[in-house]
Structure 1
Amino acid sequence: MNDLVLISYTDSLLGNYFKSCRDDLKHFIEHKDISIRIHCDHDGCKKQVLEETIYDLSDNYIVVAFTHGNENAVIDQNTTELIHKTESGNYHSAIFYSIACSNASSLGKELINYSSKLFFGYNQDTHGIQGPQNLVKIFIESENFALKRILSGITDGKALYEETYTFFTQKIETLKEENKLLAPLLLHNREAMQIYTNENGNKKSFPEI
């Protein structure tokens, strides 16, 4: 991958959760010495900036959404739509990775219909947390695991889903030991996970739907 468009916002309820996801990802990229250009500042990826950035990119890029969303769109902290499913054609041949609530229900499917290569997201509302850093870290590592595998070259949907599901399961067991009240939240996130792929028109879903 040559380019990574990184959308993240400070949130009134989750505070710096999305920025922490961003920082964790950037640390991984730097630590692994991955050569990739990162576009968009934290709190700065407004719709016009996003559209201008995408327009200039080739097909070898990833869009990452560390923000809120719904079935049809990625939204910012003011609920302004940044990416709506009717704009899916703008992301032809992209890899699209979103931790926004419910994006897999409709937006992700439409992106794949318009030939995005891969979509990772959730088909229900999901949970991020604030609190002790060791607990927040478990959620962030889980959110970012599949993305780190993609950046490491794993883009087979089945393998990516299975590895990520296993990682979530391990982290859920850790949470049961450290704070058993939070474990069901991460379990819910795991069960809401959805991956779609489109390889030359051959569309697949993991898990199958």
Structure 2
Amino acid sequence: MIIDDAYAGMKDKYFEKAQTKTGVLSGVVKSLNDFVKKYDSAKQTMNSDMQELKQTYVYNSAPFELKHMEIFNTFNDAVAQIREESKTQIQDVIQKVRDKVSEIITSPLPEGGMDDINMIRSFAGKLSDDEIKAFLNKYKNCYLATKTIFEAMEEGQDDRLGVEFVTVKNITDSIDSIEEMAMNMIRTYNGDMPYDVAVMLDGSEVQTVNDAFESFVSTYEG
């Protein structure tokens, strides 16, 4: 428990909740909660050292100022390392997600797939509902073919068929947003709990992105 930390109880609850998160992006939430614990521990050590300093040295004396600077520099060095390690951990998690997305995008077409894609493109806006459904079923595990089929639909045909295409951009934009919020938190966190920090520690938004990513993956991996 952090001395004089009004948010300690809330942080503990977020930390416990983070351990129940699942999926690859749960690593982001867990890393952020670990980061907060390490930062707060370093801050507690600094506060304790400052209290001892005031009890040991004459305030504003040369020995006091020298020790004060030493304590402050030790804290800054520790925090810089904590920030860098947490940044690396989160970037590693995000990269795994990006690598998986790239793997799906570049997965090879099945035999004869290129001929079908060229034909679908040539009949863009002219394919019947049954033809669209047949091609969607045939290429349900191929991102490139599925993208081509949706691009070839006439306006409103996807709504009529009750189908939806989640683009790579939908996924990568969400991932980029999570990374940006995580990096901003690591860069600016000072022990307080503004709304954006609470959102990242809670992890619900990250879990939503993780669920969308896993749904995207399962669509094309079967």
More helix, by proportion? 2
More strand, by proportion? 1
Q: TM exceeds 0.5?
A: no
After TM superposition, the score normalised by the length of structure 1 is 0.29
After TM superposition, the score normalised by the length of structure 2 is 0.28
